[in-house]
């Protein structure tokens, strides 16, 4: 009898291999001809072909991880946890032969894991099912606004759509295995790397949160037309598309992944230092005091972990888990050598690509392949990265960082005004896009060097566009439709929280007026913040950071800079805007969750 044996475990290492070999021997003892399909890391994934499936009389699945079974429709199939196959494989096969049932045809077949040509798929009514994941570096605004935009686009086009958001508080409305299996297309609207192993075998389309937010319907149509099957073994890290891992876009995504993991440490460290100043600017020098403890937590622990986290998760974005150890060690060395966040960025990319190369090009016998991710890559990657950082990168980058921080701390008024204006313009140009995020990453990196002025200018300028749009909707009420006035109120609140994306609905509809007026106010605010010497200890929070003593040194000057820039933007846009124009997607949001058409994010 011809039989197909399939094994899969969550780690994809030892259990998958041992169960496969045990079942194969037991099948041979029973006189069966067995074809084995292992979903693991010890051997390349080789799915059984169509001829083998046609000839099989029985399909035995020992799996505790997701496996695509739709291709076995019409075959006798037995499925049980892999743990039941290990103690007595012969008894397991006997149960399989006795208890196997005919596997019914799938209502929505999933594509073959081998990446074979995919037939168009749809629900019973002919409408494709779509699931999506959204994620941005800060996990605050773009993540949820892109999710809402995709939901509204699905409603408008009549496609059942479910969105999982991976924000600052973790995954919300997480996609279930059943929803993933039933989906025809997976949209990954992510500016950072996310775990995609659960989507192996599905048609996947990658884009940014900005594209999903500004061109949601076009993104949905493009996904249905251009999505490609994600290859790899289920339960393990899939091979990323070349466009994602290389080129400027790939480098940028890796950097933002590192920044996103570093941000919580920056916030915790900066605000701990600010709280230590509540007891006096020099109170932390009194050993054993609460002020000294807060300073130790912030400056002695959190800030020292910032650069290792940045480097470690840049490497993780490139090479997955094997890159974390060499990346963090390289980042720690960058910090101790004085190379700062620039050295951490170099260490992250060096460690990531080194680990990726070791994984791809170091070939070992199948029996030793499991040693690669847990021994060979961490050891070799850490040694190579560490030696390069110590003997090649550390000294020159440390000199560069020393020159940069000295310049920033001693620059004259003219240079301060120029730097503030440039950073302010960058924050207002694309509202959460690449230029905005580059300025933000620069400010966050400087916090690790105890340079707080640029971060103050960056946050102040980033608040200007949404507050300005809210002011304009009040000053020129007759020029704004009712949905626009409601959007203006929301934008003002978002602006106070330092969520620049609140102005995106206005920019998407009227970019030729919104962008120049935002640049005008943001440039002025950034320049004023630097002129007044404002320093900000935290990288986020908007005006609510002012409630924490000493988080901002010149509070009134800071409020003045933000107010002036926002008024300039608001008045300028109120003057240049013409007529009433309905905002796209301004209808009231729907509620609910599930596969109903247009289901919104819960």
- The residues carrying an active-site annotation are 9, 136
Angle at 328 between CA 322 and CA 330, to 5 degrees: 105
The helix or strand, by DSSP H or E, that contains position 399, with its residue range, turns out to be helix 394-410
Q: Note whether 48 and 101 are within 8 A (CB).
A: no
Structure tokens at 589: 């949001």
Q: Note whether 550 and 537 are within 8 A (CB).
A: yes
Question: What is the C-alpha to C-alpha distance for residues 106 and 118, in angstroms, rounded to an integer?
Answer: 15
The SS3 call for residue 597 is: strand
Closest CA to 441 of 268, 272, 262, 194: 262
Strand pairing report for 185-190 and 130-135? parallel
Burial class (CB in 10 A: 0-12, 13-18, 19+), 478: exposed
Angle at 176 between CA 171 and CA 181, to 5 degrees: 130
Q: Note whether 155 and 147 are within 8 A (CB).
A: no
Closest CA to 330 of 351, 313, 316, 314: 351
Distance of CA 263 to the CA centre of its chain: 13
Structure tokens at 81: 């946890």
Residue with tokens 């749809």: 122
Residue with tokens 């605010």: 525
Structure tokens at 539: 């990288």
Structure tokens at 503: 């102005």
Closest CA to 40 of 4, 68, 22, 15: 15
The SS3 call for residue 35 is: strand
Strand pairing report for 33-39 and 76-80? unpaired
């Amino acid at each position: 009898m011809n039989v197909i044996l399939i094994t899969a475990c969550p780690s994809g290492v030892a259990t998958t291999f041992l169960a496969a070999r045990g079942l194969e021997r037991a099948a041979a003892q029973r006189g069966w001809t067995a074809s084995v399909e292992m979903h693991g890391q010890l051997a390349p994934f080789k799915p059984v072909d169509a001829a083998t499936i046609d000839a099989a009389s029985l399909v035995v699945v020992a799996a505790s991880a997701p496996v695509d079974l739709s291709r076995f429709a019409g075959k006798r199939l037995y499925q049980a946890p892999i743990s039941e196959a290990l103690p007595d494989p012969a008894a397991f096969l006997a149960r399989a032969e006795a208890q196997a049932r005919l596997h019914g045809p799938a209502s929505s077949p999933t594509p073959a894991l081998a990446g074979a040509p995919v037939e168009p798929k749809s629900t019973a009514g002919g409408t494709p099912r779509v699931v999506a994941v959204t994620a941005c570096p800060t996990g605050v605004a773009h993540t949820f606004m892109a999710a809402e935009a995709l939901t509204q686009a699905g409603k408008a086009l009549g496609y059942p759509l479910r969105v999982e958001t991976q924000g600052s508080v973790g995954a919300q409305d997480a996609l279930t295995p059943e929803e993933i299996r039933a989906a025809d297309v997976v949209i990954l609207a992510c500016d950072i790397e996310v775990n995609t192993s659960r989507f192996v075998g599905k048609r996947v389309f990658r884009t940014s949160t900005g594209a999903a937010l500004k061109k949601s319907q076009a993104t949905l149509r493009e996904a249905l037309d251009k999505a490609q099957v994600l290859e790899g073994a289920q339960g393990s890290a899939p091979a990323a598309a070349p466009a994602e891992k290389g080129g400027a876009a790939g480098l940028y995504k890796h950097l933002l992944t590192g920044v996103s993991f570093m941000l919580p440490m920056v916030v915790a460290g900066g605000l701990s230092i600010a709280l230590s100043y509540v007891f006096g600017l020099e109170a932390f020098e009194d050993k054993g005091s609460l002020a000294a403890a807060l300073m130790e937590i912030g400056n002695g622990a959190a800030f020292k972990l910032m650069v290792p986290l940045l480097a470690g998760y840049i490497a993780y974005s490139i090479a997955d888990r094997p890159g974390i150890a060499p990346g963090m060690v390289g980042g720690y060395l960058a910090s101790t050598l004085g190379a700062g966040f620039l050295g951490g960025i170099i260490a992250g990319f060096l460690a990531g690509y080194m680990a990726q190369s070791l994984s791809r090009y170091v070939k070992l016998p199948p029996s030793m392949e499991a040693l690669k991710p847990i021994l060979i890559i961490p050891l070799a990657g850490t040694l190579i990265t560490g030696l390069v950082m110590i003997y090649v990168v550390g000294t020159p980058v440390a000199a560069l960082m020393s020159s940069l921080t000295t310049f920033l701390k001693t620059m004259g008024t003219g240079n301060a005004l120029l730097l503030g204006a440039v950073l302010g313009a960058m924050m207002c140009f694309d509202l959460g896009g690449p230029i905005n995020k580059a300025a933000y990453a620069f400010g966050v990196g400087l916090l690790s060097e105890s340079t707080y002025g640029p971060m103050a200018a960056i946050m102040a300028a980033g608040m200007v566009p949404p507050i300005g749009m809210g002011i304009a909707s009040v000053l020129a009420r007759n020029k704004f439709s009712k949905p626009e006035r409601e959007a203006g109120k929301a934008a003002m609140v978002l602006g106070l929280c330092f969520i620049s994306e609140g102005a995106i609905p206005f920019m998407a509809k009227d970019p030729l007026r919104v962008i120049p007026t935002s640049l005008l106010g943001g440039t002025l605010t950034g320049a004023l913040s630097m002129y007044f010497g404002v320093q900000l200890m935290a990288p986020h929070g908007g005006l609510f950071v002012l409630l924490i003593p000493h988080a901002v040194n010149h509070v009134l000057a800071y409020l003045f800079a933000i107010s002036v820039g926002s008024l300039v933007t608001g008045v300028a846009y109120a003057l240049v805007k013409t007529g009433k124009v309905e905002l796209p997607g301004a209808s009231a949001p729907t509620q609910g969750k599930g596969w109903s058409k247009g289901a919104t994010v819960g």
